Amino acid sequence: MQRNDGRAPDEIRPVNFELNVAPYASGSVLVSMGNTQVICAVTIEEAVPRWMKEQGVTGGWLTAEYSMLPYSTQPRKPRDISKGRIDGRSVEIQRLIGRSLRAVVDLEKLGARTIWVDCDVLQADGGTRTTAITGSSLALAIACRKLVREKKLDTAPMLKLVGAISAGVLEGQAIVDLNYDEDKLVAVDFNLVATEDSEFVEVQSSGEEATFTGSQLDEMVALGRNGISALIGAQRAVLARIMVTPPD
């Protein structure tokens, strides 16, 4: 099967991480997956939400916000504030990002702090939610290292790296890392979030006015796991480099 950008069915788009794009954040990354670009920035606040205090919940908290900038799509996407509310898709995605990152953070070890993860889509060409999770994982790892470097914690509260990727079934063939044109055409839509040791955080799969078989699901899971392995390898390479040259 020939994909519209020439990739093989099991081939992910080129990935790139540009660090320190938001100087006031504790960790920030501009992540690119092909033509999809997302800024992921982590800010650490020395306080916890009021509900934690009221309910006597110990440790810290992590929450995420996601938005698509107006010029990230064609036609222009109006800002949520112009509609007076966050659209349902954005709410769903930011909850997914938060769940994915909380799964790999020891919130007790974090202490009475709140980690804010802000994801802003600069350019959308499919896979914005999965790209945001992958970029946020690296930004969070950098921010947690900074906590240790500043002697606020003895060890980093982030336990594992996490990555995410999309897959789907197009013309009967399972493919990984969909661009926008493919995403519009697939009969099955699939997103996978997994840790660096291949444990699943979340699996989302639905037929787009179609059904799919167990073997197709297995194919998408296998493609997704291989894709996430490559993404986490790219994250590790960046972290290894900045161990030699610290990002700040």
Distance CA 80, CA 69 (A): 10
Give me the residue label for tokens 């650490």. Answer: 44
CATH code, domain carrying 211: 3.30.230.70
Q: pLDDT (tens digit, 9 = 90+) per residue, 82-140?
A: 777 788 889 999 999 999 999 999 999 999 999 999 999 999 999 999 999 999 999 99
Is residue 4 domain-resident?
no
Question: What pLDDT band is residue 248 in, cutting at 50, 70 and 90?
Answer: very low
SS (H, E, C) 190-205: EEEEEECCCCEEEEEE
Is residue 230 domain-resident?
yes
Q: pLDDT (tens digit, 9 = 90+) per residue, 3-51?
A: 999 999 999 999 999 999 999 999 999 999 999 999 999 999 999 999 9
Is residue 9 domain-resident?
no
Is residue 120 domain-resident?
yes
- Mean pLDDT throughout 146-160? 96
Is residue 58 domain-resident?
yes
Strands across the sheet with 27-33, in order? 15-19, 27-33, 36-45, 114-123, 61-68
Neighbours of 47 (CB within 10 A): 12
Is residue 6 domain-resident?
no
Q: In terms of residue numbers, what domain contains 150? A: 15-244
Q: Which residue from 236, 190, 38, 15 is spatially nearest to 7, judged by alpha carbons?
A: 15
- Mean pLDDT throughout 220-233? 98
How many folded domains does the chain comprise?
1
Is residue 139 domain-resident?
yes
Is residue 125 domain-resident?
yes
Q: pLDDT (tens digit, 9 = 90+) per residue, 162-183?
A: 999 999 999 999 999 999 999 9
pTM of the model: 0.95
Neighbours of 215 (CB within 10 A): 9
- Mean pLDDT throughout 141-159? 96
Q: What pLDDT score does 209 carry?
A: 79
For residue 226, give the 3-state DSSP assignment.
Answer: helix
